[in-house]
Structure 1
Amino acid sequence: MTNKFTNHMVTSLPEEMLAEIVSHTASGSLTDFVNLRLTCKAFLGASNYDRVFEKVSMENVSFVSWRKSERVFQKRCMAARNAEALYRKGMVDCFSRKKPDSGLRCLKTATEKGHVEAIYARGIIFICLGGELREQGLRILSSLDLVKSNKRSSKIIASCRSKTEKILSCMWVYESLAVPKRRDCDRDRDRDRDIGESTNRSSSLEGQAWEASNNIGHCCDSCFWDREATLFCNLLRKYLVTGC
């Protein structure tokens, strides 16, 4: 009785409304999304909308798909312009498939959707490319709004670094980036003098740990992102496949 009544209520709802329910569920959990699709034909039909796959969580899906089912799922998410799927394809295209134009387009679209790690990666790449792109990279990274608090900033940076390392460790890295030219600002030089640091820190960053550091807020934005880009380049070299 209860199941029949519930099924009747579900099937009586417009498919547009069912799609909204599925979309909300999918954005929170891929497992819940799959289970909801299995409950009845109405939800199964409503789950095929692009807006559902645009928002579906990819948290439990491998960064680089080896299984056919995952590749099909990621392709469907890409077609729906899912921000996480775009970010993943962008990173793979840039650093593994040697398709930087395609990769940067994917990262740009993910950035426009507010994907934090895509903003981070695209901004860092532009800084490393230098010239006018460097200034564009700084503008992109400014949208992360790291000035609110050091605690919040550290969490954002730590999350971006963690995501970057996870995806790079899952793929064959064939492309690296040039370490950006070091630029010292007055605040940086004052800090160096106070703590007795060497003025040539580009080499000292070579082995620096890939964790959110305490230097957020102790230098200008430009210098901070130069350091971050150097760490990003070091990580790329760590996973770079040589001799191919």
Structure 2
Amino acid sequence: MRKESSKCITYCLPREILVDIASKVASQSLADLYHLKLASKEMMNITDDDYVYKHAYLDRVPFLRITKIPQDSFLRRCRSSGNLESLYRQGMEYYFLNNELCDEGLGMVRMAAQKGHKRSMYAFAMIVLMCIDARRRFFGLEELEEALAFLRFLRNHKCVLRCRNEVGELVSSLPWSMCSYLVMTITPCLCSSVPCTNTWRPRIGSEYLETEDDDDNDPNMCENCRWDHEVEEFYENFIP
């Protein structure tokens, strides 16, 4: 009965609407997408559209895979279809775990960030503000300004803490013995005023943010102090 109902739907609705429906299913659950694929041959064809892979939800797909598994071909298809989460993951893997592809990996993270992927925005910003590789590559003014612009965007959308935790969870899970070429260091403070008369502080009056609403966005406060604090928090909580 289910297959007959599915076949009726595929005949009644235009393909573009069906693809859009399938993409929304994919953005919520890969398990539901799998069941949708099995509904009929017509739905199998619909769910194979690039637009569906572009919106696939990957949070439950492990970042690091010890052995090659069928998910690898799925993730490659997601990347080739423009899935930003997949691009971000590949970029982070290259940057942290492959010395030869380090620059390419950072380029992937930056590209995903430029297209609006929030985790990539945060990851790129932290790399620029905090990381120097074994070749002592310092980031220039262009990268710094872009990193700060990403952080402002995340702050305005009240998702700095969420992105910190999500990116930090990924970074802290990395096998650091495989990326010994990477040197993590706290760069000189963005704020050069000592002491800063308008230094940033959370709205709650403590040194920690408990919710996004505790991040005081008062324009009179020093923005550089805010991001110096963010680098400290990320470093202390997630860097081995």
TM-score in terms of structure 2 length: 0.76
Following the alignment from structure 1 to structure 2, what is the Cα–Cα distance between the partners of residues 119 and 52? 23
The offset of 1:92, in angstroms, is: 1.3
- Contact 2:15 / 2:46 at 8 angstroms: preserved in 1? yes
The structure whose RCO (Cα within 8 Å, separation 6+) is larger is: 1
- Contact 1:18 / 1:46 at 8 angstroms: preserved in 2? yes
Change (3 A) 1:10 1:170: same
- Contact 1:126 / 1:134 at 8 angstroms: preserved in 2? yes
- For the pair 1:190 / 2:197, whether they are aligned, the reply is yes
Please tell me the residue identity of whatever aligns with 2:21.
Answer: I
Following the alignment from structure 2 to structure 1, what is the Cα–Cα distance between the partners of residues 4 and 72? 36
- Contact 2:172 / 2:238 at 8 angstroms: preserved in 1? no
Following the alignment from structure 1 to structure 2, what is the Cα–Cα distance between the partners of residues 54 and 131? 32
Superposed CA offset, 1:191-212 (max 9, x none): 67x9xxxxxxxxxxxxx98977
Change (3 A) 1:183 1:107: closer
- Contact 1:54 / 1:82 at 8 angstroms: preserved in 2? yes
The offset of 1:140, in angstroms, is: 2.8
The residue aligned with 1:139 is: 149
The residue aligned with 1:9 is: 9
- Contact 1:184 / 1:223 at 8 angstroms: preserved in 2? yes
Following the alignment from structure 2 to structure 1, what is the Cα–Cα distance between the partners of residues 25 and 231? 36
Superposed CA offset, 1:153-190 (max 9, x none): 3xx22211211222123322312433120244669633
Change (3 A) 1:222 1:191: closer
Following the alignment from structure 1 to structure 2, what is the Cα–Cα distance between the partners of residues 123 and 2? 48
Following the alignment from structure 1 to structure 2, what is the Cα–Cα distance between the partners of residues 211 and 73? 37
Q: Which moved more, 1:216-225 or 1:119-128?
A: 216-225
SS of residue matched to 1:171: coil
The residue aligned with 2:43 is: 43
The residue aligned with 2:108 is: 106
Change (3 A) 1:186 1:33: same
Number of aligned residue pairs: 217
Identity across the alignment (%): 25
SS of residue matched to 1:181: coil
Following the alignment from structure 2 to structure 1, what is the Cα–Cα distance between the partners of residues 46 and 149? 39
The offset of 1:65, in angstroms, is: 2.8
Superposed CA offset, 1:2-34 (max 9, x none): 753552332454433322221121112111111
Please tell me the residue identity of whatever aligns with 2:51.
Answer: R
The residue aligned with 2:186 is: 179
Alignment of 1:67-106 (within 5 A): 68-98=69-99, 99-106=101-108
Taking only aligned residues, the RMSD between alpha carbons, in angstroms, comes to 3.1
The offset of 1:138, in angstroms, is: 1.2
SS of residue matched to 1:190: coil
Which of 221, 226, 229 pairs up with 1:227?
A: 229
Superposed CA offset, 1:79-118 (max 9, x none): 1121111111111111122222111221122112311111
Following the alignment from structure 2 to structure 1, what is the Cα–Cα distance between the partners of residues 235 and 139? 14
Following the alignment from structure 2 to structure 1, what is the Cα–Cα distance between the partners of residues 2 and 144? 62
The offset of 1:120, in angstroms, is: 0.7
Following the alignment from structure 2 to structure 1, what is the Cα–Cα distance between the partners of residues 211 and 175? 25
Change (3 A) 1:61 1:187: same
- Contact 2:50 / 2:81 at 8 angstroms: preserved in 1? yes
Q: Which moved more, 1:26-35 or 1:9-18?
A: 9-18
Structure 2 runs not aligned, ≥5 long: 131-137, 202-206
- Contact 1:123 / 1:138 at 8 angstroms: preserved in 2? yes
